[in-house]
């Protein structure tokens, strides 16, 4: 067999949520903070941070983040036992992005470093899309 690592790759049920670690990553700091937040809220182990994009914000599009479970169509990335769920509709604009957690003079919270953003607003919650950095 030429590619033994592929064995069993296509043997999965249609209703499963799939892991795409290259889709969107999270830093160690973000994973630790998310794990603490989920525990403090008493949410189940299969919960995480769901990320989407909607129209709005000062740059045209804004990030939506909610704690909870994902949906069957979401793309999932996991680190240190915690998950981020990326809405399928947002996948193209979040390909190659990274979730970080910062606590500085400007405030504390989750921030997305997005290579697909042509520009972002000062607070980092909205962006204007450019050409996708990662082909999808």
Report d(CA 68, CA 41) in Å as an integer: 10
Residue 80 has what pLDDT?
A: 94
Kind of pairing, strands 97-104 and 24-26?
parallel
The CA-to-CA distance between both ends of the chain, in Å, stands at 28
Residue 126 has what pLDDT?
A: 67
Short-list 67, 53, 46, 33, CA closest to 95: 53
Report d(CA 96, CA 119) in Å as an integer: 16
Residue 124 has what pLDDT?
A: 60
Short-list 27, 93, 39, 95, CA closest to 67: 39
What domains are there in the chain, each with its CATH number? 17-129 (2.60.300.12)
Short-list 49, 51, 52, 21, CA closest to 34: 49
Report d(CA 119, CA 129) in Å as an integer: 7
Residue 3 has what pLDDT?
A: 36
The predicted-structure confidence for 21-41, as pLDDT tens digits, reads as follows 457 999 999 999 999 999 999
Residue 123 has what pLDDT?
A: 62
Residue 7 has what pLDDT?
A: 38
Which residues does the chain have with pLDDT short of 50?
1-21, 133-136
Structure token digits, residue 125: 């919650």
Report d(CA 95, CA 86) in Å as an integer: 10
């Amino acid at each position: 067999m030429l590619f033994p690592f592929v064995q069993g790759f296509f043997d999965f049920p249609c209703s499963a949520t799939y892991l795409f670690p290259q889709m969107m990553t999270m830093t160690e700091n973000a994973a630790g903070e998310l794990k603490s937040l989920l525990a403090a809220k008493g949410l189940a182990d299969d919960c995480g941070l769901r990320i989407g994009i909607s129209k709005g914000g000062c740059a045209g599009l804004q990030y939506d983040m909610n704690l909870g479970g994902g949906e069957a169509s979401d793309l999932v990335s996991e680190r240190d036992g915690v998950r981020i769920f990326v809405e399928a509709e947002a996948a193209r604009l979040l390909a190659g992005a990274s979730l970080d957690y910062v606590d500085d003079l400007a405030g504390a919270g989750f921030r997305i470093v997005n290579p697909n953003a042509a520009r972002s607003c000062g607070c980092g919650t909205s962006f204007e899309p450019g050409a996708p950095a990662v082909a999808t």
